[in-house]
Amino acid sequence: MTSSTPDEPNRGREPDSTPGPDPDSTPALDSGGGVLPGDTPPAEGGLSGLSHQEKGPTRWAPVVTLVAIAVVVLSVAGFVVGHLFGLF
């Protein structure tokens, strides 16, 4: 671990991979560095799409879910019908 002094705050650190825009050459900035009314700030350069293709759900997952729901619904319906006819 390196210690840094106030004169060298970034000593031992990697520089940012996407530094911010130079305020002197960026259009539509007011003197304080803010954005003028009606303008939008520069786009962020560090955002991108997915880093890898995500896998979708497996083929059997929806089937298992539907079967589980059907079992619960039929069990509740059977209990209600059995209770109405005095079987339970």
SS3 52: coil
Instruction: Convert the pLDDT of each residue in 12-64 to its tens digit.
Output: 666 656 677 676 666 666 677 676 776 765 566 655 665 777 788 788 989 99
The residue-averaged pLDDT of 79-83 equals 95
Q: Using alpha carbons, list the distances in angstroms from residue 44 to 18, 24, 48, 66.
A: 9, 18, 9, 43
| 7 or 70, greater pLDDT | 70
- pTM of the predicted model as reported, rounded to 2 decimal places: 0.38
Secondary structure of residue 35 in the 3-state scheme: strand
* CA-to-CA dists, residue 19 to 40, 55, 67, angstroms: 18, 33, 53
